[in-house]
Amino acid sequence: MGKPVINKGLEGIYMTESRICKVDGKAGKLYYRGYPIEALARHSSFEETCYLILYGRLPTRKEFDRFDMLLKKERALPQGILDIIEETVGRADVMDILRTAVSALPAYDPDAYNKSKASEVRESVALISKLGSIVATIGRVSQGEPIVKPDLSLSHAGNFLYMLNGRRQGTEEARLLDTMLILHAEHSSNASTFSALVTGSTLSDLYAAVTSGIGTLKGPLHGGADSAALKMMNAIGRPENTERYINRALAGKQRIMGFGHRVYKTYDPRARIIKKDLESLQKHASKEVRRLTAIALRAEKMMVEKLGKTHNIWPNVDFFSGPVYTAIGIPEDLFTPLFAVSRVPGWCAHMIEYWEDNRLIRPLEYYTGKVDREYVPMGKRG
């Protein structure tokens, strides 16, 4: 048999059909269940978007209120999860703590291994709600502050900020965060969704699938790019250093984090929305946020001129996120965990959809090593 065609990184391979999300990489369009991302970012809330992603349609008022109440009921964390957080904060990366806490959740869910669709949806609601509480609590404990109980009168985004900072923040910050959550909620078969599907395709459970997704999201080529991009902006330091820094980085064959995408070969529509939000918050922004914004805008202009049209490398969702999160008061080590808080509805919806017609995911690899080697006992090896 000759060497088969190998699609490194599974590029260009369709592995399933899905009704959840369309990413049109040529036109720079993104749809959740048929709705353009721009409309959802402008008019929806994260909670409503979660309903849409999970159920495939927008809820009526009554359906929304019930769903919202179920989400709120799941916000509190069991003592065992709080203990894991307190034990591990400061000793491991926040994404590792989040992954560990999520993988321990079945211990507190008596119905965790029930494979009915109703139970999978219930677990999805629990995961969406609890991931927010877990990440906010990790952030709180990291600051050496006492744990804050959830406030059920607040939205998911508002409660996240409350549990993180111990005080109710302005509605503008909660709105900005809500938009960020919507923009990151779903993105077809990205690396973390794919790894969740690989885990679930063995007929493992939803908690295990989401745990796999978190492990995959951590890497700097995927969710970790948001904090890597902010680190770069801080390394640039002053806006006037931007061009020199980027030129040097590109000459040294370094990747500029927050640029490029496997599917988008044009401007990522999510990055456009985040950029607009960032520009509109400048009037009341701190000096630090204005500095980051100036660097980001100079870097974006330069990269678009240098690599946009010629190499199809454009800003992606992670590029402008750092300055926006900084404006909301979110520390850099929570950026990627917040990406997980946003993406959990996407992971769950894909898993539930895939289980409707499950097939074990098991690709091939082309072996290039030796065969029939002679086994030499250890004592006779040179």
Q: Within the chain, how many helices (H) and strands (E) appear?
A: 17, 3
Q: How many CB atoms lie within 10 A of CB 65?
A: 11
Q: Which of 88, 179, 189, 190 binds ligand CMC (CB under 6 A)?
A: 190
* Beta carbon of residue 127, minimum distance to ligand CMC (angstroms, whole number): 20
Neighbouring C-alpha atoms within 13 Å toward the C-beta of 56 = 7
# residues near ligand CMC by CB under 6 A: 20
* Beta carbon of residue 107, minimum distance to ligand CMC (angstroms, whole number): 30
* Binding residues among 297-316 for ligand CMC as defined by CB under 6 A: 311, 313, 316
Neighbouring C-alpha atoms within 13 Å toward the C-beta of 172 = 11
* Beta carbon of residue 302, minimum distance to ligand CMC (angstroms, whole number): 12
Contact indicator for 100, 86 with CB cutoff of 8 Å: no
Q: How many CB atoms lie within 10 A of CB 180?
A: 29
262 belongs to the binding site for ligand CMC (CB under 6 A) = yes
Q: How many CB atoms lie within 10 A of CB 133?
A: 25
**Residues 326/328/332/336 CA torsion (nearest 10 deg):** -130
258 belongs to the binding site for ligand CMC (CB under 6 A) = yes
* Beta carbon of residue 316, minimum distance to ligand CMC (angstroms, whole number): 4
Name the residues annotated as catalytic: 222, 261, 318
* Beta carbon of residue 103, minimum distance to ligand CMC (angstroms, whole number): 22
Q: Which of 223, 323, 337, 346 binds ligand CMC (CB under 6 A)?
A: 223
Q: Which of 2, 4, 9, 382 binds ligand CMC (CB under 6 A)?
A: 9
| Helix, strand and coil percent figures for the chain, each rounded to 5 | 60, 5, 35
| Pick 223 or 308: Cβ nearer ligand CMC | 223
**Residues 327/187/19/174 CA torsion (nearest 10 deg):** -10
Please choose, out of 61-69, 116-124, 251-259, 365-373, the segment that lies near ligand CMC by the rule CB under 6 A.
Answer: 251-259
Q: Which residues bind ligand CMC (CB under 6 A)?
A: 9, 187, 190, 221-223, 225, 255-262, 311, 313, 316-318
